[in-house]
Chain A
Amino acid sequence: DAGVIQSPRHEVTEMGQEVTLRCKPISGHDYLFWYRQTMMRGLELLIYFNNNVPIDDSGMPEDRFSAKMPNASFSTLKIQPSEPRDSAVYFCASRGWEGTGELFFGEGSRLTVL
């Protein structure tokens, strides 16, 4: 399997623009997570899905952030409108329901909002 695939790897945009980050989880994994990583706050859980249904979105910072999972192989995280404080690396991760519960992370999307 190719692992968790995220796109774009890098995104530079201007304040006020819409940003869409994409994620393809590992096939067969039924949990999908979105994290944000910054130097100051570390790795923060934004939202996670089980079988395409959002289970916990308490980490989503505000209404400007939204996440969807229309099917088992695709998820998006959207920021509209973007602000400079949204600059961070956004990670998607997935896991199956059995085993050690290991989270498999993608390589991240580095977002810079000017």
Chain B
Amino acid sequence: QKEVEQDPGPLSVPEGAIVSLNCTYSNSAFQYFMWYRQYSRKGPELLMYTYSSGNKEDGRFTAQVDKSSKYISLFIRDSQPSDSATYLCAMITSGTYKYIFGTGTRLKVLA
């Protein structure tokens, strides 16, 4: 079993929809959680970072962490065609720099 599981999609939604992307993990030692966005033929870029359970909001993006369920989510409000990309969750334990990534979910927002 992989440490981090993520549905690969693809996920197609109409412009303006609310998008929900999710990851589950098995290692309870993970303490820092990130979402990266990767456009086609580019490297991943950090979108959001959080280290506590609960919600963190940044513009149209909300990251949610539920450590008791070992479940993290990324919500995108008012999705735009420019949001079309692959979204990867990532996590690390305290005191290490071993970033573990999910396989990524491909999102397509249709105009």
Task: Establish whether residues A107 and B46, one from each chain, have CB atoms under 8 Å apart when the complex forms.
Answer: no
Point out which of B90, B101, B104 has the most chain A C-beta atoms below 10 A from its C-beta.
B101
Task: Establish whether residues B43 and A48, one from each chain, have CB atoms under 8 Å apart when the complex forms.
Answer: no
Task: Establish whether residues B98 and A48, one from each chain, have CB atoms under 8 Å apart when the complex forms.
Answer: yes
Number of CB contacts from chain A to chain B under 8 A: 55
Residues of A63-114 whose CB lies within 8 A of B: 91, 93, 95, 100-103, 105-108
The bracket for how many chain A residues form the interface is 20 to 34
Q: Is A4 an interface residue (CB 8 A)?
A: yes
Task: Establish whether residues A101 and B98, one from each chain, have CB atoms under 8 Å apart when the complex forms.
Answer: no
> Which residue of chain B has its CB nearest to the CB of A59?
B98
Q: Chain A's nearest CB lies how many Å from the CB of B87? A: 12
Residues of B27-45 whose CB lies within 8 A of A: 32, 34, 36, 41-45
Interface residues of A (CB under 8 A from B): 4, 31, 33, 35, 41-45, 48, 50, 55-56, 91, 93, 95, 100-103, 105-108
